């Protein structure tokens, strides 16, 4: 493992702690990015769906009054 080799090479504890912290944050950021992508897809679909419904309703109203 990379961390064990760093310890074996005498890397300072503070640097090791920072690397470990950054690795943990990177994992969390990746998960958050995936969640945001899913939310973005949902919002785009919902907006498109709402726009289609509004257009259909507008056309039906136009047919009823026209």
Question: What are the pLDDT digits (tens) for 28-49?
Answer: 999 999 999 988 887 777 677 8
Domain ranges of the chain: 2-65
**3-class secondary structure for 10-56?**
CCCHHHHHHHHHHHHHHHHHHHHHHHHHHHHHHHHHHHHHHHHHHHH
Statement: the pTM of the whole predicted model exceeds 0.85: no
Task: Give 61's pLDDT tier (boundaries 50, 70, 90).
Answer: confident
pLDDT at 30: 93
Q: Is the predicted pLDDT of residue 66 greater than 70, yes or no?
A: no
Residue 6's CB is within 10 A of a number of other CB atoms, namely 14
């Amino acid at each position: 493992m990379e961390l064990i080799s760093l310890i074996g090479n005498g890397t300072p504890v503070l640097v090791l702690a920072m690397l470990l912290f950054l690795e943990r944050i990177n994992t969390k950021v990746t998960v958050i990015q995936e969640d945001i992508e899913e939310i973005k897809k949902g919002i785009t679909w919902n907006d498109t769906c709402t726009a289609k419904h509004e257009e259909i309703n507008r056309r039906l109203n136009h047919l009823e009054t026209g």
